[in-house]
């Protein structure tokens, strides 16, 4: 068996059905091998999108995503998406063509050291040959899925694809042997003594799918729950214990919850989204996680590394009868936040757009959101249905995420309505992927909140009393036409025209752009100064 066929078969057996990327000359044998194995190669417009699509595919399927780029510039482009897989915690195999052994150290066109390029962006990086290929692909799949999951890079020298694989050589990787220091007695004592705990739930908990266990736990141990943005949907927004999302719009209202607590319990809380010290009062912290983290060593910080089952078992040390449930405070905060949000009705801004989308879209819609001011509103006020989801990047927070994420979501769940909500800055970064959506007949609806500026940067400048500079994207209308790259554009500049645009888009089985020409004034009242 050739190296190319071995890799393709191994990926297929692991559940991989798509490889995203842009090929180069040395990629051709791999593309043919993927086809023979039953894996479809999805051609994108920018390699960064390939990394994002592999990331989102992994999130939705639970199977490692896979992507590919060619030498030098292709590899450098794909790192943008791979950084997302690293800091948003998705298992991804990223393959890049590399120079042959005879040219690897030479001065040559497009030649850089890919192992050094990818080293800070991946959990491991390997250079393949016919002798180690069998072992490397197995190790890569194992490493990318271990806690925390993340990307692994495999370099493919340009002349090995058609070589016969040698199964006689094995390589071994030193296993991680970290001793855990779980102070169970101290944790139990803190839990027993607490009367007003706050539960802070994060990305790891959402990724591990412990929502049902959490809801069951809260039936007995009632306490306020705050979540990080990527944990959105782990419990229903109408749950009596749900207070809101840290870091996003109006999150300063949550201070009434956590400033008066006597203990913070971090449940699968990943600080890649929002550090504890950015919001926590000076109270003890118990941090439950699946691996050791870089929490600062303080007397009132206690870590527990283990499985969710062990987390919940330890949490039974809480004294149910002594907990002070602050349901009225939670409800009051939620009601006030929603009232403020609903109060924006005098102009056609981002709030008006979100209200229309919440009303008109099916409850099981999958929403992908790009980075920008609008994400702070979505993160706090979008309600995830029983089958719907909000897919964002927050650990990496790279602009341009929304459109490729939507295409990947449609490929994985073609029966669902998939909507990308993006600012015009994020749209311009990945506008070429609209052609990708058209090529693969992905009927994604891309809602562009067009305000002609990088609003979040402009806001941050205003917080520092700096006049806006370097934030204007264009003047006039972004599209100025009823189509873009052969894709229909519906323009909305009022509530009524937005309703019409959304329903027109839902009636079509093809990619559509909604150009929502908004007044961005809402943002300055809703986004919290960080």
Q: How far does CA 339 lie from the centroid of its chain?
A: 29
Q: Which DSSP helix (H) or strand (E) runs through 420?
A: strand 418-423
Which residues belong to CATH 3.40.50.970 in the chain?
Answer: 3-157, 343-526
What 3-state DSSP class applies to 456?
A: helix
Q: How many other CB atoms are there within 10 angstroms of residue 422's CB atom?
A: 29
How many CA atoms does the CB half-sphere of 205 hold within 13 Å? 33
Q: What is the pLDDT of residues 446-463, one digit of tens each?
A: 999 999 999 999 999 999
pLDDT at residue 102, rounded to an integer = 76
Between CA 493 and CA 145 the distance in angstroms is: 45
Between CA 317 and CA 320 the distance in angstroms is: 9
Task: Specify whether domain 343-526 bears CATH 3.40.50.300.
Answer: no
Comparing CA positions, the residue from 8, 70, 71, 60 lying closest to residue 35 is 8
Q: How many other CB atoms are there within 10 angstroms of residue 327's CB atom?
A: 12
pLDDT at residue 327, rounded to an integer = 93
Instruction: Please name the CATH architecture into which domain 3-157 falls.
Output: 3-Layer(aba) Sandwich (3.40)
pLDDT at residue 68, rounded to an integer = 98
Q: Give every strand in the sheet of 40-43, ordered side by side.
A: 40-43, 18-21, 65-69, 92-98, 151-157, 124-127
Between CA 433 and CA 177 the distance in angstroms is: 43
* Residues of the chain predicted below pLDDT 50: none
Q: How many other CB atoms are there within 10 angstroms of residue 363's CB atom?
A: 12
Is-above-0.85 flag for pTM? yes
Task: Specify whether domain 184-329 bears CATH 3.40.50.300.
Answer: no
pLDDT at residue 295, rounded to an integer = 87
Pairing mode of beta strands 225-227, 124-127: unpaired
φ/ψ of residue 145, rounded to 5: -95, -10
Q: C-alpha distances in angstroms, 372 versus 392, 406, 492?
A: 11, 17, 20
pLDDT at residue 278, rounded to an integer = 95
pLDDT at residue 172, rounded to an integer = 58
pLDDT at residue 49, rounded to an integer = 98
Which residues belong to CATH 3.40.50.1220 in the chain?
Answer: 184-329
């Amino acid at each position: 068996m050739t190296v190319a066929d071995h890799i393709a078969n191994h990926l297929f057996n692991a559940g991989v059905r798509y490889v995203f990327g842009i090929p180069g000359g040395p990629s051709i044998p791999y593309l043919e091998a993927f086809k023979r194995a039953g894996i479809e190669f999805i051609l994108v417009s920018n390699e960064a999108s390939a990394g994002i699509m592999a990331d989102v595919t992994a999130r939705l399927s639970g199977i490692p995503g896979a992507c590919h780029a060619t030498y030098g510039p292709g590899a450098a482009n794909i790192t943008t998406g791979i950084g997302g897989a690293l800091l948003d915690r998705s298992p991804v195999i990223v393959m890049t063509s590399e120079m042959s052994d005879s040219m690897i150290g030479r001065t040559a066109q497009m030649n850089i050291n890919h192992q050094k390029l990818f080293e800070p962006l991946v959990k491991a990086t390997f250079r393949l040959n016919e002798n180690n290929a069998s072992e490397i692909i197995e190790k890569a799949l194992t490493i990318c899925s271990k806690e925390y999951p993340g990307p692994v890079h495999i370099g493919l020298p340009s002349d090995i694809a058609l070589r016969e694989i040698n199964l006689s050589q094995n390589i071994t990787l030193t296993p991680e042997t970290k001793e855990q220091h779980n102070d169970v007695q101290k944790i139990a004592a803190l839990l027993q003594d607490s009367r007003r705990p706050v539960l802070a739930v994060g990305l790891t908990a959402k990724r591990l799918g412990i929502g049902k266990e959490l809801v069951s736990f809260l039936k007995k141990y009632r306490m306020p729950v705050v979540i990080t943005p990527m944990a959105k949907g782990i419990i229903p927004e109408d749950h009596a214990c749900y207070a809101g999302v840290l870091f996003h719009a109006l999150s300063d209202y949550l201070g009434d919850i956590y400033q008066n607590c006597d203990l913070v319990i971090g449940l699968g809380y990943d600080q890649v989204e929002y550090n504890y010290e950015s919001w926590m009062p000076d109270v003890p912290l118990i941090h439950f996680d699946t691996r050791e983290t870089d929490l600062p060593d303080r007397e009132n910080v206690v870590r527990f590394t283990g499985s969710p089952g062990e987390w919940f078992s330890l949490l039974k040390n809480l004294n149910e009868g002594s907990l002070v449930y602050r349901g009225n405070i939670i409800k009051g905060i939620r009601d006030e936040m929603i009232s403020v949000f609903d109060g924006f009705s005098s102009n056609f801004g981002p709030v008006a757009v979100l209200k229309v989308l919440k009303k008109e879209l099916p409850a099981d819609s999958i929403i992908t959101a790009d980075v920008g001011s609008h994400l702070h509103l979505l993160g706090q006020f979008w309600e995830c249905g029983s089958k719907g989801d909000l897919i964002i990047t927050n650990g990496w927070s790279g602009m341009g995420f929304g459109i490729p994420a939507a295409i990947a979501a449609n490929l994985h769940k073609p029966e669902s309505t998939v909507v990308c909500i993006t600012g015009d800055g994020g749209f311009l970064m990945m506008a070429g992927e609209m052609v990708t959506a058209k090529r693969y007949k992905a009927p994604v609806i891309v809602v562009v909140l067009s305000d002609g500026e990088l609003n979040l940067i402009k806001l941050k400048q205003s917080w520092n009393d700096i006049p806006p500079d370097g934030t204007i994207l264009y003047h006039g209308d972004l599209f100025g036409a009823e189509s873009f790259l052969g894709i229909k554009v519906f323009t909305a500049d009022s509530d009524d025209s937005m309703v019409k645009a959304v329903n027109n888009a839902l009636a079509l089985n093809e990619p559509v752009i909604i150009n929502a020409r908004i007044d961005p004034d809402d943002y300055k009242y809703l986004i919290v100064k960080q």
